[in-house]
A and B are shown apart, each in its own frame.
Chain A
């Protein structure tokens, strides 16, 4: 007879590094659960049946969330066994749980529709996913599972080239490897991970953890070729000659610049340059690392998405005061709530309804102030549901000796310029059909390359869908051959 579950309304908290300590370094802010607290949190789940569990529907890669929480609960006295079983459930749908557990906006995805959220706090799914991945790695539980997942194939089903090693490409590669394909990933930079390596800072996603997640894909048989720029080092046509199918996950890595006077002044960075110097090149450890970075005493970050929060919090850790200036209001910010909260805690200031119109420089060509027009919101909303804004004709000038522009990104056009048969939309995103296939048969695409700037987990969802479509495509092709 089923016992009526006793509801625990409040989530079990995860410890965080105190503010005064963490702003001095790039250490990870959230420390995550231990087994005992993870178990307590997992026990709050009311175990909706997988057929209609709303959390599963809310997850772009449809992880069997009640399933992995159940696995944890089934072995309260044997943490290793509990975690192994939980990880097996997660890996079925997601090979990068240490990453997604950290960077997904769960409040908009799996945790948003969680039934427990109606009566109290939703289950802390992200942190539990992260716990399973971290515990497994620390306790050497992955190896045995890797062997299980390898049993699926020996790479003889076909060969697939994946362009770009960001979240979309890595997911697609992992899924295809699990199905038994031989997969080669082509990456332009010297380290794989895409935005996970150059964009998201250590204090949100330690690079050591990312490297280990990627090493696991290599264990699954995925080969990663670095320093290869598809469109330059090798053409799409050449890839099609050598592989049965190609997946393009080249992201949206080209920064948008403000077309206003003063954009070329010294110490005006794009967020991509600033974050690449810090994350990929470790410029915050200069001169131990060779890459330099220079910030002054007052930094203004323009924009209010996740990239802006990452840039602002990174700048703060280099010892500058930071103000985020946004042209809309507080409630219009697109960054994750947790990150906005962390930024505020750490001392980032916010200025709303300010639209930059000019960067003002000193005699030496270095930025010294930003002139903004004050904006005001209208009742009317734009296509994305944000309030429209209009200028008031009033201006304000804020001092700044460093400026970071984080107003968005668009797809890099290297590959579409070279492969002229590849259809693109006016914004540079690739045109795909319902199976994520581009205008060239056998070439699939996903992530920011088709969406424009979106999220890590949507990119991963695309990578997974594309892997299934690629599998079907290659099977069909081989059956007809």
Chain B
């Protein structure tokens, strides 16, 4: 049981949790994640420690309200409550070396995963530029990013209320690819790194590929245990089947089979919608 020391909404559908989890805090490295189970009947979801204090034993998770579990966390958890399970740290740390000039991209709440990595790369002597592309009310960690890296570029997209959410998301993809193209045309980068939805990662990769710049991507397949025992998170990398939870989550974007990754992440969309709708009824009914 892990106590929530702080909880606050830091942007639209973005909740900050500072949690007492000393076993994770003392060991976590940039690039690693945790598996969280917040409720008794709940599922296990992968999340990324954004900040941590090894001495004080806390980690910060910033969670985008995306479906039932994250919505329920936002609605029901209070400061002082306890989260049932936080397993970790899991996955491999990102490679810590001097790459040179790095462009680290975060789409939507993906920027929160970029933060610890970009910060550590900068501290190691890399020249890191971060790019955050998201909807205007969803900007997070702006000040922190500006303090942590050489240059932080923020690109916001307005939400057009007359259009559907997927339509709006297309605008983010467009802005992302345009901005990346613009940057790569003007400047030389030694490495591009990206966290975000698989579709956006692929779209950005298509641009980066034209410039021949090396690219790493933090993959987000479906996970259950996060320890390599089920293979739900399997991806094809360089023609081989890999488990993202133990072999990743970072992989060479040039080797990833993007079609398969995107197809596999949509497996439970119907059931996810159903769970969310059921939960919305509970919320609207003011409990049971």
Contacts and interface: CB of A to CB of B under 8 A. Distances in A.
A421 interface: no
A291 B225 contact: no
B263 A294 contact: no
A255 B271 CA distance: 25
Contact of A273 (B69, B224, B264, B274): B224
B11 interface: no
A257 B127 CA distance: 41
A227 B234 contact: no
Contacts of A412: 227-229
A272 B84 contact: no
B44 interface: yes
Contacts of A281: 43-44, 224
Q: Name, among B44, B230, B234, the residue most crowded by chain A CB atoms within 10 Å (CB to CB).
A: B230
A264 interface: yes
Interface stretch (A112-120, A174-182, A215-223, A229-237): A229-237
Interface string B14-52: 000000000110010000100001010111100000000
B227 A414 contact: yes
Interface residues of B, number: 43
A264 B260 contact: yes
Most buried by B among A255, A290, A292, A365: A290
Contacts of A285: 41
Nearest to A266: B267
B264 A229 contact: no
Nearest to A228: B23
Contact of A253 (B86, B229, B257): B229
A286 B278 CA distance: 11
A290 B38 CA distance: 11
A190 B224 contact: no
A190 B229 contact: no
Contact of A290 (B69, B87, B264): B69
A413 B87 CA distance: 17
Given A190-B44, A190-B84, A276-B224, A290 B231 contact: no
Given A232-B88, A291-B224, 8 more contacts: A190-B37, A227-B23, A227-B85, A233-B27, A276-B225, A288-B41, A290-B39, A365-B264
A228 B271 CA distance: 30
Interface of B: 23-24, 27, 32, 37, 39, 41-44, 68-69, 84-90, 224-225, 227-232, 234-236, 241, 246, 257, 260, 263-264, 267-268, 271-272, 274-275, 278
A226 B27 contact: no
The size bracket of the interface on A is 35 or more
Given A264-B241, A292-B268, A234 B27 contact: yes
Nearest to A289: B41
Nearest to B257: A264
B230 A190 contact: no
A292 B90 contact: no
A276 B43 contact: no
Contacts of A124: none
A266 B88 contact: no
Chain B CB count within 10 A is highest, among A190, A232, A273, for A232
27 contacts: A188-B87, A188-B225, A190-B85, A198-B225, A198-B229, A226-B87, A227-B23, A227-B88, A232-B88, A233-B24, A233-B87, A233-B88, A234-B27, A257-B234, A259-B241, A263-B234, A266-B263, A272-B230, A273-B230, A276-B230, A281-B43, A282-B41, A285-B41, A287-B278, A290-B42, A291-B44, A412-B227
Contacts of B85: 190, 226-227
A235 to B, nearest CB: 9
A272 B234 CA distance: 13
Contacts of A414: 227-228, 246
B233 to A, nearest CB: 9
B228 A254 contact: yes
Contacts of A226: 85, 87
B-side binding surface: helix, strand, loop or mixed? mixed
A294 B267 contact: yes
Interface in A286-304: 286-292, 294
A226 B231 CA distance: 21
A263 B241 contact: yes
Given A232-B27, A287-B278, A292-B271, A273 B231 contact: yes
Contact of A255 (B39, B230, B263): B230
A419 interface: no
A146 interface: no
A41 B187 CA distance: 83
B90 A232 contact: yes
Contact of A287 (B231, B241, B246, B274): B274
Contacts of A190: 37, 44, 84-85, 87
B234 A188 contact: no
A189 interface: yes
A227 B234 CA distance: 22
Nearest to A258: B241
B229 A255 contact: yes
A229 B39 contact: no
A353 B241 CA distance: 27
Interface string A291-324: 1101000000000000000000000000000000
A359 to B, nearest CB: 13
A189 B225 contact: yes
B68 to A, nearest CB: 6
Contact of B23 (A234, A267, A269): A234
Nearest to A361: B263
A291 B87 contact: no
Nearest to B86: A227
Contact of B229 (A259, A269, A276, A289): A276
B227 A270 contact: no
A277 interface: yes
Interface in A222-256: 226-229, 232-234, 253-255
Given A255-B231, A263-B241, A289-B41, A189 B87 contact: yes
A98 B86 CA distance: 30
Contacts of B23: 227-228, 233-234
A290 B42 CA distance: 5
Contacts of A269: 232
A110 to B, nearest CB: 30
The 7 closest A-B pairs by CB, nearest first: A273-B230, A292-B271, A253-B229, A227-B87, A290-B43, A190-B85, A365-B263
Contact of B271 (A232, A263, A286, A365): A286
A473 to B, nearest CB: 27
A357 B86 CA distance: 40
